[in-house]
Structure formats: C-alpha cells, structure tokens
Amino acid sequence: MRATLTIAGLLLAAVAVGFYWYSQRGMKLSETDSILIGEFSNAAGDPVFDGTLREALGVSLAQSPSLNLVSVEKVREALRSMGRPADSLLLQELAPSLCQRLGATVYLTGSIVKADSGYSLRLDAGRCSTDDSGISTKSDAANRGEALHALGVAAADLRGKFGEEPDSLQKFDLPLERATTASLDALAAFTEGRRLAREKGAIEAVAALKKAVELDPKFALAHSNLAVAYYNLNQNALAADHIRQAFESADRQTVRDRLHITTLYYDLATGDVQKAIASYKEWVRLYPRDDIAKGNLSSEYFLIGDYEQAATLAQQALRLDPGSAAWYENLATAYIALQRLEEAQNIVELAFARKLDDPSMHAELYALAFLRGEPAAMEREMTWSDGKSGGEDTLLALQADTEAYVGHVQKARALSRRAVEVAENSQLSEPAAIWQGIAALREAVYGNFEEARKGADKVLELAPQSRDAQILAILVLTRLGDVRRVQTMLDDLAAANVSNTVVQSAWLPTIRAQAEMVGQKPVKALELLDVVKPYERGQLIGNLTYSCMIPVYLRAEAYLGARRGPQALAEFQKLTDSRGVVGNCWSGALAHLGQGRARALSGSTNAARISYLEFFSLWKDADAGVPILKSARIEFAKLN
C-alpha cells in the first residue's frame, strides 16, 4: 500500500504544473451537493476508450465518502422524462436541463487526446447553476496502458478541489487500474455488460461480463456484477461462485466496493445472514447516501421475514435513487407481504410511469391480482410474459401454483413442466430445477407420491450443484419416507454450508423434523422446529418473492400428529393470516383443511365442518383423484 501511495503521489506531482493555475481555486461541495458525470470525449483514435473512461471515472470518484454521484438510473429516468432516449449521449448542451431535473450541483466532463508523448486526459467541472468556467485538471499517460492510472490521478486531484480532506483522499484512493482492471479490453467488456444489464436485463448482460472475467480473471468488479446477474436469474450456484472469486481479490477493490462485495459474499456465498447485515450496516455508516447499501440490506430482511424493516429500508433506498427498478420491486414485495396491496400497486405503477420495467414487477402484479381475486389481471401478466426470457418461466411457475391452489393438479403439472422447459431453453438450469422442485413438493403434499419422486429425481439431474434445488429434492424425498437415501445428501448439504444461516437454522431442522414425522415422532419434530421460528416467515428459497412458510405448515402437522388441536389450529391460522407472504402457495389452500382437522381434534365439530366446507368450496372444481382431497372427504363424512 505504501508503494502504491508513493507512486500516486509522484505522478500527481509530475502533472502539477499542468493544472497549477486552477489549483488556486476550488469548488467546495457540501454533503447535499451532487455531481452529474457527462460524456468523455474520445479524440485519441482508439475506440476502446469509448464509454470505458466514463465508467472508470465513476468508480474512481465513488471511492469518496463525501461526494454524491448522480446514478446512471436517475440519468436514464430524467432523459425519458425529457422525451429523449434513455441511452442519449450526455453532451454539454444537455447539461442545464438535465441538472435542473436531477437537482445536480456540478456537471463533469472529460476528454482524452493523442499527443506526441502519449495521451493527455482532462476533466472539467462546472456548477450547473452558473456560467463560470469552473475547475479543471489534467493528467498525462505515456502510453495506452497507463491511461487508467492517469485518469485516477486526475480524479483524485479533482476530489481535493471539491473540498475532500487529505486524510480521506489517502484512505479512499485505490489506483484506478487496481480498482477496475489493467486491461482496457476487459474494462470495455465490463462497461458493455453494465449497459446491457441496465437496458435489457441480467440475461443479456451475462455474455459481456463473462468476457470481462475471461480477459482478466482477477477483475473483482466484473465478478461481482456477474454474480448479481446470475442471482437475479435464480442461478444461485453460479452467483456464489463468482462472488467468491470477487471476494478473494481483496486487493483489487476500493473501500466502497469491498463493502459491497463482502456483503454479497456473506449473502450469496456463505449465507451468513448476521454477518451480511452487519456488513451492510457498516456500509451505510461509511456511505450514508449510498442507495445500494440500504436497498440490498432491505433484501436481507426478506430472508428472515422482517417485512416492516425491509419496507423501511427499501423506502430509504428509493428516496436516494428513484430511478432504480430494484427498489420499487423491493418495496412492492414488502408491501404485498404486509398486505398493503394498494400501496404495492401504486409503487409498481410509479415505476412504470418512470419507464422502468422488469419481469419481477410483472410477478408483483400477478401476485396482487391473485390476492385480489382478479383472474383477468393474472392473465394479462401471463400474456405479457410470453416469449420473454427470464420472465416467461417465472410467470408459468406462478400460474402453476395458482392452478394447484384450487386443486387443478393436472393443469398445474403441465404448467410446471412448461416452466421447466422454458427455463432450460434459456439455459437457466437452476431456475428450471427450482420450478421442478416446487412442483415435486406440491405433489408430495397432495399425496401423489410417484409423481413427487420422479420430480425430485429430475431436480437433482437439472442442477446437482444448486443448494436450493438440493434442499427441495431432499425435503420431497424425506416426506416420501426415503430417509436412508437422503441421509448422505443431508450430511453433504450441512457440511457444504456450515456458515449458511438459512441452511443451518431453518432447512436442516425442518428436514430433520419431517423425517421424525415420517417415523411417527411428532413431539421430536416439534422440538426441532422450535429453532426455526425466527425464520419461518422468510423467503428461504433463492430470490423468490414469496414464501410457503413450510416450517409453519410442518409444525401444524406435527401438532396434529401429537393430538394437540388448539396448537395446530394456531399454526394453520398463521398461514391464513399471512396471505401476503404465502401468496398462491399450496400451504395457503391446505391451511383451511388443516383448520378443519385441528378443530375436529379439539372436539369443535361445527367449527370443523365450516373449515372443511371452506376447503371444499376452494377446491370445488378440483381434480377428483387427488389423494388429499379424497382423504378430506372421508374425514368430513365422519363428522356428520
């Protein structure tokens, strides 16, 4: 670190004469001021500098805890509101109107030219509200390979002129070629991947980001962006692999990026929820105006089922960056879980009004339509998803759940099969396995054991390395009584995820409890499920935006097995009271049947009849041969 600082200092001194006149002036910025980064003019005759220097400049300036950069998402939203394409070049003539819409204080541009001795870079900053010439800085590079370092030197000088203290500059100034990559070609691929992620979604960005890490395997930022893309595509095993590679390149990250990558590492790779939350909170402390820190922290609270806290943090992130689609999605998801349906609808509509669109938002609209009992609105979202990679499989899986919710098992089976096929055709193997696993678990609970077994086997074929797929397959096979077969799988799952909070504190005890219930030991199952209570409302599979609350359902079954009717009723009541969390999952439908069984066990015959009739009304058009329905009819007949 000392050698790096010495080199940076020497280079800064070498170019000091070039900007000495300007250095007598400054443009001190306050914590509420913001900087809009405009275009970087490329007169060097090398297309590799197009876009890449602007991207790299953002990374360099973002190191500062005291500067606020206008996000690309906010810029795109402002351009759309002005009737311009979201990918318009941010040329000088746009500065006044853009600054006004964005509330920016400073407009910053850059340029690079080919000189006899190499390359000359210049940064110019002017106040948006005045016509003065502002401040500038220059830096020279002896050759193409030193251009990024020279840009970082110029950016550091500019930060000083904006009023950043020397000790802050020393602490938060990693040379740009280390903060990004020394390979301009890798940086160009990364820049293209970031652009595609913003404009077309994660699935389109993967190829470019993969190219970036192939060109520079130690490119930490590219690995972390690729991890996020894979996570958003439910490819969680790949996401974990790439965030692990990013984490291992600690010397290639700025302080801010290190915080980001560390939190993602705890989140996606090790799964240590408490460490992830602590790291996010440290990120918020150091960079209180960073929307990503608060927005991603909101996602962490979804995992443990604290939807109030998730909503609060998503609101804060959205205020900081109203141009980010992710924060609308987080806030809408939290509102749905809290059954604040009108507010959720308003948030999604606000996102659409800002020309933001994403498959997840349409999944939110589908969920809202289901909870409101609006089949036409659900069908609209299905129509929208047709042919959309990364969206069609999700909506097909949701529709399968809806059909199963009312007992249309054959239709649900066909839709799940189609969801798996669409995901496979899009090379989304892990989502395909998750849709298959959800379908298999549904079959097992409904009593279609042979179909469930075949589904579980296929899950393991589709994505054998997927943690979430393994969990679903193991849970299904355990419920089917194949305890010996799954024991090795369960041991391997535990050993491979020693730090994963959800695996260790939620899934392992839940699966072991299921095994105890198969062995007719409901009291032992209840003991195991007791430790799961802090996570029972959480979204425990991948990045799905709903939860079946499986531990609650199994606890209710265990109470029935232990002949504790009132306690079983209370657990089933949790499911019916949590419609926003459970959504169209099978557990919500079967909770009505469970309440009937619990009331019958407690001797409340009339109340039991009412609960059974509620279930039969819900399943009035159900497939006749579903085993759990046949059992329910036999039980109901005994009440009369």
The pLDDT of residue 23 is above 60? no
- Evaluate whether residue 628 is within a structural domain: yes
Give me the mean pLDDT over the 607-620 stretch: 97
Q: What is the pLDDT of residue 411?
A: 98
Flag whether pLDDT at 206 surpasses 80: yes
Q: Are residues 84 and 154 in the same domain?
A: yes
Question: Can you read off the two tokens belonging to residue 165?
Answer: 């203290």
Whether 389 is in a domain gets the answer: no
514 and 630, same domain (yes or no)? yes
Write the pLDDT tens digit of every residue in 244-267.
999 999 889 998 899 999 999 998
What's the rounded mean pLDDT across residues 336-356?
94
Chain mean position to CA 75: 22
Question: Where a domain ends, among 157, 179, 201?
Answer: 179
d(CA 292, CA 228): 12
Return the structure tokens found at 253.
Answer: 């990250």
**Summary mean pLDDT of the chain:** 90
Helices 522-530 & 550-561, crossing angle to 10 degrees?
150
Note whether 43 and 114 are within 8 A (CB).
yes
Report how far residue 484's alpha carbon sits from residue 617's, in angstroms, rounded to the nearest whole number.
39
What's the pLDDT at 589? 97
Which of 219-228, 263-272, 327-336, 593-602 shows the lowest per-residue confidence on average (mean pLDDT)? 263-272
| pLDDT recorded at residue 9 | 29
Place of tokens 């015959």: 605
Q: Are residues 550 and 505 in the same domain?
A: yes
Backbone angles phi, psi at 40, to 5 degrees: -110, 110
> Rounded to the nearest 5°, which phi and psi values hold at 43?
-115, 25
Residues 504 and 608 in one domain: yes
Tell whether the model's pLDDT for residue 400 goes beyond 80.
Answer: yes
Q: Per the structure, how many domains does the chain have? A: 3
471 and 511 belong to one structural domain: no
Q: What is the Cα–Cα distance from 174 to 61, expressed in whole angstroms? A: 11
What are the backbone angles phi and psi of residue 448, rounded to the nearest 5°? Answer: -90, 75
Q: Are residues 452 and 549 in the same domain?
A: no
Residues 480 and 503 in one domain: no
pLDDT, residue 545, reads 60
Same domain, 54 and 103: yes
Sign of the dihedral through C-alpha 218, 220, 222, 225: positive
Q: What are the angstrom distances between the C-alpha of 222 and each of 191, 228, 354, 607?
A: 9, 10, 28, 59
Residue ranges making up the domain that contains 166? 2-179
The answer to the question of residue 221 being in a domain is no
The Cα–Cα gap between 439 and 442 comes to: 5
pTM exceeds 0.85 for this model: no
Say how far apart CA 410 and CA 284 lie, in whole Å: 49
Query: Of all residues in the chain, what percent carry a pLDDT higher than 70?
Result: 95
Kindly list the distances between the CA atom of residue 251 and the CA atoms of 177, 256, 448, in Å, as whole numbers in the listed order.
Answer: 11, 13, 53
Higher pLDDT, 116 or 43: 43
232 within a domain of the structure (yes/no): no
Burial of 268 (0-12, 13-18, 19+ CB in 10 A): buried
Q: Are 455 and 601 members of one domain?
A: no
CA–CA separation, 412 and 398 (whole Å): 9
Domain annotation covers residue 257: no
Query: 489 with 568, same domain?
Result: no
pLDDT for res 547: 85
Residue 49 tokens read as 């500098």
> Is the predicted pLDDT of residue 125 greater than 80, yes or no?
yes
Kindly state whether residue 293 falls inside one of the protein's structural domains: no
Average pLDDT over residues 22-37: 74
pLDDT at 101: 84
DSSP conformational letter for 391: T
The domain spanning residue 42 has which CATH number? 3.40.50.10610
- Ranking 50-64, 123-137, 248-262, 410-424 by mean pLDDT, the lowest is 123-137
Q: What is the arithmetic mean of pLDDT over 522-550?
A: 89
Average pLDDT over every residue of 230-257: 89
- Yes or no: say if 444 and 474 are a contact pair by the CB < 8 Å rule: no
* Same domain, yes or no: 8 and 107: yes
DSSP one-letter string for 126-165: EETT--S--EEEEEEESSGGGHHHHHHHHHHHHHHHTT--
What 3-state DSSP class applies to 122? strand
Structure-block tokens of residue 502:
């959800």
Q: Which residue has the higher pLDDT, 234 or 145?
A: 145
Q: Which of 84-93, 234-243, 266-275, 291-300 has the lowest mean pLDDT?
A: 84-93
In the predicted structure, residue 61 carries a pLDDT above the cut 80: yes
The yes-or-no verdict on residue 6 having pLDDT over 80 is: no
Cα–Cα distance for residue pair 640/635, rounded to 1 Å: 9
476 and 600 co-located in one domain: no
At residue 20, does pLDDT exceed 50? no
Confidence of residue 356 (pLDDT cuts 50, 70, 90): confident
Stretch 45-56: mean pLDDT, rounded? 92
Is residue 277 one of the residues assigned to a domain? Answer: no
Judged by DSSP in three states, 174 sits in coil
Residue 135 pairs in a beta bridge with 125
Residue 25 confidence (pLDDT)? 54
Task: Encode pLDDT of 264-294 as tens digits.
Answer: 999 888 989 999 999 999 999 988 888 989 9
From 40-49, 232-241, 373-382, 569-578, the region with the lowest mean pLDDT? 232-241
Which of residues 179, 212, 229 is at a domain's end?
179
CATH number at residue 613: 1.25.40.10
Q: Is the pLDDT of residue 18 over 60?
A: no
Dump pLDDT digits (tens) for 475-499: 999 999 998 889 999 999 999 999 9
Which of 122, 147, 179 finishes a domain? 179
CA–CA gap between residue 79 and residue 172 (Å, rounded): 32
Q: Is residue 396 part of a domain?
A: no
Q: Which ranges of 26-69 would DSSP assign to H, the alpha helix?
A: 52-61
